[in-house]
Amino acid sequence: MIEAHPSPDLSDSPSFESYFREPGLAPEQPLAWALGQRLDLIDALRGLFNGPQALVRLRLWVFMALAGQPQARFSRDDLNQLFHALLPDALDSALKRLRDIHLLAWDATAQDYHLPPLAQQVHGLLASLTSAPVGEHDEMVALLAQVAGAQQLGLVDTNQLKHLHAQLARLHDEFAEAIASGSESRLRLAQPRFDRALTLVDRAGQALTALIRAEHEDPRLEREARALGQDQARLLSMASQFTRALQQADRQRVTLGSTGLTSSDVRRWLQHHPALYELMGEALSVPVRPVMVSQHDLVDVAEGEFERDRPVADGSAGLPPPTEAADGTLGVLSLPEELSQMIGLFDRWFQQAPADAAPADRPLHEAVLGGRFAQAAYRMQLMPLLGDGQARTLKGLTGDLARSPWQWQASARHLAVDDEAVALISEGTLSPLPHEAFKGPTDHTKADATPGTAASPSR
Cβ neighbourhood burial of 344 (10 Å; 0-12, 13-18, 19+) = middle
Report pLDDT for 10.
45
Residues in Cβ contact with 450 at an 8 Å cutoff, skipping those fewer than 6 apart: 392, 393
* Beta-bridge mates of residue 273: none
**Average pLDDT of the segment spanning 124-128:** 77
Q: What is the dihedral of CA 164, 169, 173, 175, to 10 degrees?
A: 50
**Residue 453 pLDDT greater than 50, yes or no:** no
**Residue 306 pLDDT greater than 70, yes or no:** yes
Report pLDDT for 251.
73
**Residue 3 pLDDT greater than 50, yes or no:** no
**Average pLDDT of the segment spanning 359-364:** 84
Report pLDDT for 26.
76
Report pLDDT for 331.
66
Report pLDDT for 438.
40
Query: Residue 1: pLDDT band by 50, 70, 90 thresholds?
Result: very low
Q: What is the mean pLDDT of the chain?
A: 76
**Residue 263 pLDDT greater than 80, yes or no:** no
Q: What is the pLDDT of residues 392-435, one digit of tens each?
A: 888 888 888 888 888 888 888 888 888 888 888 888 888 888 76
Q: What is the pLDDT of residues 72-91, one digit of tens each?
A: 888 888 888 888 888 889 88
**Average pLDDT of the segment spanning 168-196:** 81
Query: Residue 212: pLDDT band by 50, 70, 90 thresholds?
Result: low
Could you state, in order of their start, the residue ranges of all structural domains in the chain? 16-130, 138-251, 337-432
CA distances from 33 to 26, 36, 93, 97, 406 (A): 7, 5, 34, 28, 60
pTM of the model: 0.41
Report which of residues 154 and 301 the model is more confident about: 301
16-130: CATH number: 1.10.10.10
* Beta-bridge mates of residue 432: 406
Contacts 24+ apart (CB under 8 A), 51-59: 51/4, 51/5, 52/5, 55/2, 55/4, 55/5, 55/93, 58/2, 58/90, 58/93, 58/94, 59/94, 59/97, 59/98
